[in-house]
Amino acid sequence: MSESLPHFKAGMIAIVGVPNVGKSTFLNRALGCKLAIVSPKPQTTRDKIAGILTEDASQIVFLDTPGLVAPRDLLHEALVARVRESLHGVDGVLHLRDSTEPNLQDDPAAELLAHSRAPLVEAWNKIDLLSSPQRRALDAALSRRPPGAAFAVSALTGEGLPTLLEALRALLPEGPPLYSPDDLSDRDLRFFAAEAVRERIFELARHEVPYSVATQTEEFIERPNGKHYVRVLIYVEHESQKGILIGQGGELLKRIGQAARREIEDLADHPVYLELHVKVRKNWTKKPGDLKEFGYRLPCGERSRAARGPRRGPGEGGPRSPSGGGAS
């Protein structure tokens, strides 16, 4: 593709919504490949991930953002800050909403988006789950909206997405591509390796453990003539969570490693040897220093408040010795 093509359009669209409305599913469907973590559990997405859709006459850079919730700890405050950050400088905002919710007007994201200067498009997702009367009611409600303002879609099946994508392209300014046409994301394989491990923890671990987990790729060594070597560290908040995550005889960690390895191999298009280690970082979701190390930025007010003294129940302790290697 030549960057001198006339009338080419390129820009950024932030995807915003509450947890479990299907933001990551939408991103994966729009790109035609698995890029973002998908889980029925809320608060799966923690990072702003750019997914790049390049076509003959346009390039949409989608920003997948964490689900908006009322903050319960510093981690949640960092996630809300990340959503706010994503709204700056974008060419449009896709407000994804859940059509199966009984109150279609109640959405915590609406207040935040009211202050955004970017053009807004609403998409009511999960229409594949609606009964016929529910679908007719939704269609009637959306028909009263201005043209191009709201759409009924299914990110799971793809229904309604072509029309929605056409409306989003209309928001983009004319200009050259922002990324190479061959790029699918602004993130590298190290990032997606850690995300693949975290996704399998959400899938296979029980209760509160996934929400207390952070993953980091410590090593990613590419070996053209052999298996790539990937070492991912898994951080939890408490010793009890470490035991749960490793499982009896290391069985759960082994299952997590095997499933994550297959996904990393698909992304890298190369055989992979994956090694996992679990560490305890006590109460890391409540400590500004730990959050910063894991890549989360807090609002300035929160950093200042945290510097004046610890919050209730911050705990003590740093990284402990690794345990529970899960090699594949």
188-204 residue pLDDT tens: 899 999 989 988 998 88
Query: Around Cβ 176, how many Cβ atoms within 10 Å?
Result: 13
| CB contact at 8 A, 63 and 14 | yes
Residue 313 pLDDT level (bands cut at 50, 70, 90) = very low
C-alpha distances in Å from residue 261, one per residue of 197, 201, 215, 264:
8, 13, 14, 5
CA distance 170 to 70: 33
Query: Strands 49-54, 58-64: parallel, antiparallel or unpaired by DSSP?
Result: antiparallel
Count how many residues are written for the chain. Answer: 328
CATH fold of 189-307, please?
GMP Synthetase; Chain A, domain 3 (3.30.300)
What was the pLDDT predicted at 176?
94
Average pLDDT over every residue of 13-31: 90
Looking at the predicted structure, is the pLDDT value of residue 84 above 90? no
Supply 171's token pair.
Answer: 């928001």
- The span from the CA of 148 to the CA of 164, in Å, is 8
Pair of tokens at residue 271: 């055989």
The CATH class that applies to domain 9-169 reads: alpha beta
Calculate mean pLDDT across residues 114-138: 92
Q: Output 139 or 288, whichever has higher pLDDT.
A: 139
Report the distance separating Cα 229 and Cα 282, nearest Å: 28
Residue 311 has pLDDT above 90, yes or no: no
- 163 within 8 A of 151, measured Cβ to Cβ: yes
Residue ranges per structural domain of the chain: 9-169, 189-307
Of the listed ranges 124-138, 174-188, 195-209, 287-301, the least confidently predicted one is: 287-301
pLDDT in tens, 270-286: 999 999 999 999 988 88
Tokens of 268: 């890298």
Report how far residue 290's alpha carbon sits from residue 266's, in angstroms, rounded to the nearest whole number.
31
Contact of 86 with 63, CB cutoff 8 Å: yes
The confidence score (pLDDT) of residue 166 equals 96
Q: What is the model's pTM?
A: 0.76
- The rounded mean pLDDT for the chain is 82
The Cα 151–Cα 264 span in angstroms is 34
pLDDT of 326: 47
What's the pLDDT score for residue 232?
97
